[in-house]
């Protein structure tokens, strides 16, 4: 098997970086009484970059700045509210029941990365941002910046999807039917694992239902509106179906339990041909895919899904379908941190950025990396909201910022590659689907993308190289990001 560093090279990833420089002098904080009354952090160097978000985008921006700062001229501060990070990539494998995949392999602290790369992580919540005065207000202190990097990720948007739901019902949905797409220290995945174990203890007879993010929302029984927003890791719903199908086979529950995917799309919203092949080849009788499903509501008391259908007289009616476990993936929006920055955004709150410089259209001192970033004027070309994208562009942004500070030079994005693998089976072999996307710019400065969905010599979209490759990629990207090599 390839080692981690070879996987980094294969996927266009960079290697680990510099060791942390010596200890810094402690300075007495100055008091900022302007708004919060909290202390304002004094600068340790001439330039300070503040990074909001301690995920793949934020941390790799921070490390790339320091890797390109040989004389240690730039102070880099990452603001992250959680004390440790749960890595979502490949985390669906936890649901397979394969002992090779353990929750502790997806949890990372920030200690090693700070020591290895020389930036600092402040565990605090961002309350507001003043772009004009270049300050970030947290619940612990006020921090000024020369450049700001926003990498806060996404949030669920239950309010838009279910406008009639109360706060109590939304809270109930998060506990009883968690989406499992956010890095919440692994809480949602833990709930899904607990539900599977309880289901097994109770006889494991019934349906485990997955509802991917919807492409349309109903304003009435007769009228629906198409909805387009950020979709974090679009293949995740279908990979999850495979991993739970793997769990069913591993526990000899075929014929008793099954996975049902209720999709508003007519076919899987990512890698459709590949997942259709996998469902048919590996999970016949285990996974049922239902396309064109019109979700209306969920009754958590009776454990029923309300959906739209048509009767014999061609009238719309509402029917009910029972479930035993429900994984409801809500539509998503950009993090509310982006709104705090008061920069230009699109309909779902995504920050509009320059495709070549990756800065906000409103403020060239603000960069946006990851799922909340939207390329402006890119002619329908979008970068997949996924860990690989955040990782790669975080490296680019870090180098750009270092060049601006140290060399007074504005560099631009040229081309980059984003790979995406999905695990579809872990028993007896680890099998996966792999797709590569190459991005670049033409002579008119318009972005282009080329997709390459891998097919083996047997005409299969899935194989062992895809599964083992995903494991190697995960070890490489987390090893570099969190300095856990």
Q: Residue 413: phi, psi to the nearest 5?
A: -70, 135
Cα distance between residue 212 and residue 234, in whole Å:
9
pLDDT digits (tens, 9 = 90+) for 372-404: 999 987 777 888 899 999 999 999 999 999 999
Preceding omega of 100 cis (within 30 degrees of 0): no
Cα distance between residue 80 and residue 78, in whole Å:
6
Residue-averaged pLDDT of the chain: 91
pLDDT digits (tens, 9 = 90+) for 70-121: 999 999 999 999 999 999 999 999 999 999 999 999 999 999 999 999 999 9
Mean pLDDT, rounded, for 307-322: 94
Torsion angle of the four alpha carbons 360, 329, 57, 478, in this order, in degrees rounded to the nearest 10:
-170
Domains belonging to the chain, first-starting first, are 4-153+335-412 (3.50.50.60), 158-331 (3.50.50.60)
How far, in Å, are 346, 478, 482 from residue 110 at the CA level? 32, 12, 7
Q: What is the pTM of this model?
A: 0.90
pLDDT class of 25 with cuts at 50, 70, 90: very low
Query: In the chain, how long is the greatest CA-to-CA distance?
Result: 78
């Amino acid at each position: 098997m390839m080692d981690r560093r070879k996987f980094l090279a294969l996927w266009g990833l960079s290697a680990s970086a510099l060791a942390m420089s010596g200890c810094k002098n402690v300075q007495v904080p100055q008091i900022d009484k302007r708004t919060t009354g909290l202390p304002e952090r004094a600068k340790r160097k001439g330039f300070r970059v503040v990074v909001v978000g301690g995920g793949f985008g934020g941390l790799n921006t921070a490390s790339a700045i320091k890797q390109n700062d040989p004389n240690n001229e730039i102070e880099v501060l990452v603001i992250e509210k959680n004390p440790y990070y749960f890595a979502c990539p490949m985390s669906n494998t936890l649901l397979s029941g394969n002992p090779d995949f353990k929750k502790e392999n997806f949890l990372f602290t920030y200690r090693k990365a700070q020591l290895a790369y020389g930036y600092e992580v402040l565990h605090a919540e961002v309350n507001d941002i003043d772009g004009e005065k270049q300050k970030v207000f947290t619940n612990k202190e006020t921090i000024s910046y020369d450049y700001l990097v926003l990498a806060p990720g996404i949030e669920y948007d239950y309010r838009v999807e279910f406008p009639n739901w109360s706060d109590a019902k939304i809270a109930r949905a998060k506990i009883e039917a968690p989406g499992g797409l956010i890095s919440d220290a692994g809480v949602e995945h833990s709930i899904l694992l607990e539900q599977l174990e309880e289901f097994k203890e109770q006889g494991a007879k019934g349906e485990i239902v997955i509802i991917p993010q919807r492409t349309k929302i109903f304003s009435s029984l007769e009228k629906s509106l198409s909805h387009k927003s950020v979709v974090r890791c679009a293949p995740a719903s279908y990979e999850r179906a495979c991993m739970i199908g793997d769990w069913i086979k591993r526990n000899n529950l075929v014929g008793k339990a099954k996975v049902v995917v209720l999709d508003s799309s007519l076919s899987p919203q990512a890698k459709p041909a590949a997942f259709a092949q996998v469902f048919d080849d590996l999970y016949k009788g285990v996974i049922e895919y239902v396309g064109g499903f019109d979700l209306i509501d969920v009754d958590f008391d009776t454990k029923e899904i309300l959906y739209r259908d048509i009767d014999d007289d061609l009238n719309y009616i509402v029917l009910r379908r029972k479930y035993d476990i429900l994984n409801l993936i809500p539509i998503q929006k950009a993090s509310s941190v982006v709104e705090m920055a008061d920069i230009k955004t699109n309909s779902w709150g995504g920050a509009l950025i320059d495709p070549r410089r990756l800065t906000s259209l409103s403020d060239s001192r603000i960069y946006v990396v990851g799922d909340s970033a939207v390329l402006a004027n890119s002619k329908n070309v979008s970068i997949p909201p996924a860990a690989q994208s955040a990782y790669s562009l975080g490296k680019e942004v870090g180098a750009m910022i270092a060049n601006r500070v140290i060399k007074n030079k504005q560099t631009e994005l040229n081309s980059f590659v984003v790979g995406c693998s999905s695990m579809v089976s872990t028993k007896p072999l680890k099998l996966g689907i792999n797709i590569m996307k190459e991005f670049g710019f033409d002579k008119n400065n318009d972005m282009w993308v080329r997709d390459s969905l891998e097919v083996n010599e047997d005409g299969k979209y899935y194989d062992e190289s895809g599964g083992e490759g995903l494991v190697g990629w995960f070890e490489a990207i987390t090893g570099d990001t969190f300095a856990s090599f």
